[in-house]
Each structure stands twice: as C-alpha cells, then as structure tokens.
C-alpha cells in the first residue's frame, strides 16, 4: 500500500454489465486495484459483475484475479488484490432478461447490508453500445435507477463510447436514457480526458498569466491536433467497419482536445461551469455545407505497407473487413470556430491508423514577428513561435523561439524550450481510468460528457458523414501503411501556404 494521495471515495457498489469482456479485465479491474492501492478507495467498495457465464462468486473472483495479475500496470501488491477479492460478486444472466435484474436487486440488497455501502450504486455499461438502452430500461423497471423514498444513497451510470453513431441516434439515446436517469446521474466517459497531459492543458492555459493574453486570433495563426496510431484495427475489424476514423476518434477524443484548447476560461472549476464553456465551443464550430465538406475534409484508407520493418496488410485484407470497404481509417478536417476569440483561425484535426508512429500532439503556431527589423541582415525569414503539447507517448510541452547564433553577424536560429512532464516526479503507473472512476464515485462529472456536448459534436460530424456516404471514395486505399496519410491531407494545408507540423 502506498501513501494515500487524496481523500477516500464514498462507499459504493460498482455494478459492471459485461464483466467478462475485454474492457473489464484489461482496464476496469486493474483501475480499481490501483485506486485501492493508493488509498483512494476503501474497504467499503464492492464489485458486482453481470455476465452470461456459468460462474459462481468464486469463479468470478478467480477470473478477475487472473485478469488483474495479467493486466496490472506497475507492481502488484498481492495483499491489495487479496483484500479486494471477497468483495467481488457475480450475477449470471442475459442483459435482455428481466430476471437478471431481479437477481441483481436481491444481491445488491444483501451486499449493501453486509459491506455498509450506504445504498450507493454505480452501473458501468461495459457492453456493446446496442445494449445501453436495454440495460437502462431494465434498471428503471426493476426500480434500481433511483433510491427508494426515505432510503439513503445515490445511483449513477457510466456509459462507454460510442454514444450514438450520428446526431439522430445520439439524440434518441439521450432521450431514452433521460426517461430513467436524470442528467446528473449519467456519466458519459471519454478515456482521453483521464490522461494527465490532457488535464494539464487547462492548468497550463489558465494557471500561467503569460499565455491567456496571446491565446486568440490576434496572435495565433493556426491550431493542429494530431492523433496518430501505428496500430491497425487489431482484430476489431467488424466493429471498425461500422465506425471509421471520424466516428471512432475525431467526434470524441479530438473534439475533447479541441474544446480544452479553444474554450473560454470558466468562472469556476466545477462541472457546470467547465462543461458550459466546452459546449459553447462545440456549438461555435461552423457546420459545413456539402461544398465545404468537399474542400475542408480528407478521408483515407491504408493499403499494405511496412511499419518498423514489419510488413502489414492493407485495411481491406484485415479479418472482418469487406474487401471492397469504403470505411475511412484516416480523417482530416479544417474547422472554423465562429466566435470573437477564434474567427479566422483554422483548426486542423487529423487522426489515422497505421501511420508512421504513435503520437498525439497539439500544435499552436503563432503569427510571425514583423520581418522589417532584420531586413538589412542575413536574416530573411523568421520562423513562427510554435507551442507543442505532446500528449502521448512522450508527455512534454515545447516552445520554439528564435535566438541569435553567437557571432559578429546577425544569424537567427530556432531553438526549443522543453518541459518534460516526468521531471515533476514519477507518475504512478495508471490505466488512464483512475481519475475518471474516482471522480464518478465522488459525484464530480467535470471530465465527463454532458448530453448537449455529445449532441453538439454530432451536429458538426453528421453533415460530413452524410456527404461521405453519398459520395463513396473512388481512390481507396489511398495511403500506404507506415506513411503519414493521404497526399490530399497535405494539400488541405498547402492551399493556405501551411504544412502539418512534423511529429518528432
């Protein structure tokens, strides 16, 4: 057990639907173990797994213990796992069967009494998205969505992505869930917001007086957000065929990064204030006309290639993928934000699979200094100041400035100031879900998506999806695995004499 790093979360039962699945084994259980190890969760946390497997409680404990030993990040303290196992319980049942919820209700009453969890329940929907509504409906019918009058406790539900697949389906899901749960009870998770560097963006922007005055159209030329993956679809071709890069990455993760960069400073750091500012940014993103979709978006799909010396197949040759697939594995957008701060500043977003290397970075390029001052010297051109927030794998912030090379003539060279996140101390090994789960236990939804944020992001993406669907791509595959994506994505910036900032 390590030194506690914060206050103990309230007692609760974490009910995981789909507890035999990948997310639970690889991320959720290791996350809980980390929270226990750091003294953030105490002895009054109980986990109930709902699966279709013919398991008793002991079988479930065995499977989860094996999963934690396999997927634990860092060094596992065996006493922590041992202390948790007796508080793991299993409910066997199909999610579509009302009897599953009757059984769950009975078990919850028992464990609540035994472990004094004070009637606090979190329902984690770790299941395919098609089952979200079914579970919510059944929880409502089984009277598990609200505390019975006079009783203590709260009920919260964590919903995984994808939250809808276009604006209509997202609105339908919002409406359906709102029949059972109040908005304050719903926690729509985006694991990107659990990353330290992402959470640091607001501290960096708003905790340092020198950046906010220049954080606007007067001083910033353009913003680029890149989320590059070197991996392919990793056996999830069937799912990816229904999604594509725009739905899978841009609508959620990249838009979250965009809001953190572009939002106004909130009046307070509480869930309502922060999320009010975020949604304003999303609503200010100019929806594209069909003509603008053709000019300001690029889609791509990888063909066979080589990454790190390994030959990899093209997307259409991946298992579960149609040999004639139109699904995009790469998307780039040029977005405009119609507000006073950002009018005229292009925001370029790109994400793709099977690119040269894995990297997430946000690049803020400032306007150039006036050139005249050095007109009679050897300095003909000055580079822009560039601020790069590296989110992963290297967590660091760099600022490129101009400096004079020592010597009798004036020669200006770009130099780099660098802040490495690890110099602040070694971060505890983490799955990335710790902060998010801990926040939910504490009723803090700041880092979770509100319904209006989800709808606003789909409002931006859906017109693009509509045009892409109406005009199937003719040139897929149009980039080689191991490259930086389709040539058209470079042309998107070249039109305005800009280039993508290289990924270092």
Ligand X SMILES: NC(=O)c1ccc[n+]([C@@H]2O[C@H](COP(=O)([O-])OP(=O)(O)OC[C@H]3O[C@@H](n4cnc5c(N)ncnc54)[C@H](OP(=O)(O)O)[C@@H]3O)[C@@H](O)[C@H]2O)c1
> Which whole-number Å values give the CA distances from 222 to 2, 133, 215, 235, 341, in the listed order?
44, 40, 11, 36, 12
67 or 258, CB closer to ligand X? 67
Q: Among 110-118, 122-130, 141-149, 434-442, which window interacts with ligand X (CB under 6 A)?
A: 122-130
Task: Write out the binding residues for ligand X, residues 336-365 only, by CB under 6 A.
Answer: none
- Active-site residue 253, yes or no? yes
Q: Among 14-22, 114-122, 147-155, 250-258, which window interacts with ligand X (CB under 6 A)?
A: 14-22
Report the residue count for the chain. 504
Measure the CA–CA gap between 464 and 297, rounded to whole angstroms.
8
Minimum separation from the CB atom of position 329 to ligand X (A): 17
Q: In the 8-state DSSP scheme, what is residue 109?
A: H
187 or 215, CB closer to ligand X? 187
User: Residue with CB nearest ligand X?
Assistant: 21
Task: Write out the binding residues for ligand X, residues 188-227 only, by CB under 6 A.
Answer: none
- Give one DSSP letter per residue of 257-290, joined into a string: HHHHHHSPPPSSSSHHHHHHHHHHHHHHBPPPPH
At a CB cut-off of 8 Å and minimum separation 6, what does 492 contact? 296, 298, 332, 334, 348
Which residue from 12, 68, 104, 127 is in contact with ligand X, where contact means CB under 6 A? 127
Minimum separation from the CB atom of position 500 to ligand X (A): 27
Q: Is 129 in the site for ligand X (CB under 6 A)?
A: yes
Task: Write out the binding residues for ligand X, residues 150-169 only, by CB under 6 A.
Answer: 160-161
Minimum separation from the CB atom of position 372 to ligand X (A): 52
Q: Is 23 in the site for ligand X (CB under 6 A)?
A: yes
Minimum separation from the CB atom of position 413 to ligand X (A): 44
Q: Among 29-37, 121-129, 378-386, 474-482, which window interacts with ligand X (CB under 6 A)?
A: 121-129
Give the long-range contacts of residues 146-152, CB within 8 A, separation 24 or more.
147/119, 151/119, 152/118, 152/119
Minimum separation from the CB atom of position 189 to ligand X (A): 8
Q: Which of 191, 253, 390, 501 is catalytic?
A: 253
Minimum separation from the CB atom of position 98 to ligand X (A): 13
Measure the CA–CA gap between 83 and 21, rounded to whole angstroms.
23
Q: Are 332 and 476 in contact (CB under 8 A)?
A: no
Q: Are 337 and 278 in contact (CB under 8 A)?
A: no
Of 362, 346, 197, 337, the closest CA to residue 264 belongs to 337
31 or 51, CB closer to ligand X? 51
Q: Are 50 and 14 in contact (CB under 8 A)?
A: no
Measure the CA–CA gap between 335 and 223, rounded to whole angstroms.
10
Task: Write out the binding residues for ligand X, residues 46-105 only, by CB under 6 A.
Answer: 51-52, 94-96
Task: Write out the binding residues for ligand X, residues 300-329 only, by CB under 6 A.
Answer: none
Minimum separation from the CB atom of position 306 to ligand X (A): 26
Measure the CA–CA gap between 294 and 302, rounded to whole angstroms.
20
CB atoms within 10 A of CB 67: 21
53 or 496, CB closer to ligand X? 53
> Known catalytic residues?
253
State the residues that interact with ligand X by CB under 6 A.
Answer: 18, 20-23, 51-52, 94-96, 126-129, 131, 160-161
């Amino acid at each position: 057990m390590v030194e506690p790093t914060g206050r103990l979360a309230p007692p609760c039962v974490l009910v995981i639907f789909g507890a035999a699945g990948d997310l639970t084994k690889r991320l959720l259980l290791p996350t809980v173990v980390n929270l226990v190890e750091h003294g953030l969760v105490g002895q009054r946390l109980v986990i109930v797994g709902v699966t279709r497997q013919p398991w008793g409680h002991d079988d479930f404990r065995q499977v989860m213990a094996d999963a934690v030993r396999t997927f634990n990040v860092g060094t596992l303290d065996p006493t922590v796992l041992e202390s948790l196992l007796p508080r793991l319980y299993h409910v066997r049942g199909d999610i579509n069967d009302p009897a599953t919820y009757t059984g769950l209700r009975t078990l919850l009453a028992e464990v609540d009494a035994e472990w004094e969890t004070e009637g606090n329940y979190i329902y984690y929907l770790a299941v395919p998205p098609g089952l979200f509504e079914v579970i919510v409906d059944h929880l409502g019918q089984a009277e598990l969505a609200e505390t019975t009058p006079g009783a203590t406790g709260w009920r919260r539900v964590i919903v995984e992505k994808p939250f809808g697949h276009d604006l209509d389906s997202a609105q339908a899901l919002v409406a359906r869930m709102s029949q059972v749960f109040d908005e304050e009870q719903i926690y729509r998770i985006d694991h990107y917001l659990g990353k330290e560097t992402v959470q640091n963006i607001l501290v960096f922007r708003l905790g340092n007086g020198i950046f906010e005055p220049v954080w606007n159209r007067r001083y910033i030329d353009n913003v680029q957000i890149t989320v590059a993956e070197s991996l392919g679809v990793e056996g999830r071709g069937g799912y990816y065929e229904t999604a594509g890069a725009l739905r899978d990455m841009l609508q959620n993760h990249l838009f979250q990064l965009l809001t953190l960069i572009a939002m106004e400073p909130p009046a307070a750091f509480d869930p309502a204030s922060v999320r009010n500012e975020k949604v304003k940014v999303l609503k200010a993103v100019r929806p594209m006309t069909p003509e603008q979709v053709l000019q300001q978006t690029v889609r791509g799909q990888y063909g066979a290639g080589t990454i790190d010396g390994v030959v990899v197949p093209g997307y259409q040759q991946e298992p579960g993928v149609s040999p004639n697939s139109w699904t995009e594995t790469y998307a780039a957008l040029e977005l405009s934000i119609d507000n006073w701060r950002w009018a005229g500043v292009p925001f370029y977003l790109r994400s793709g699979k099977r690119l040269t290397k894995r990297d997430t970075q946000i690049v803020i390029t400032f306007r150039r200094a006036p050139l005249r001052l050095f007109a009679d010297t050897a300095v003909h051109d000055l580079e822009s100041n560039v601020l790069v927030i590296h989110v992963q794998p290297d967590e660091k912030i760099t600022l490129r400035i101009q400096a004079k090379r020592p010597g009798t003539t004036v020669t200006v060279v770009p130099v780099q100031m660098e802040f490495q996140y690890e110099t602040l101390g070694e971060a505890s090994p983490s799955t990335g879900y710790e902060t998010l789960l801990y926040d939910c236990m504490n009723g803090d939804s700041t880092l979770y998506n509100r319904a209006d944020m989800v709808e606003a992001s789909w409002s931006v993406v859906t017109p693009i999806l509509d045009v892409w669907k109406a005009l199937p791509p003719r040139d897929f595959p149009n980039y080689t695995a191991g490259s930086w994506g389709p040539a058209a994505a470079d042309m998107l910036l070249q039109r305005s004499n800009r280039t993508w900032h290289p990924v270092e």
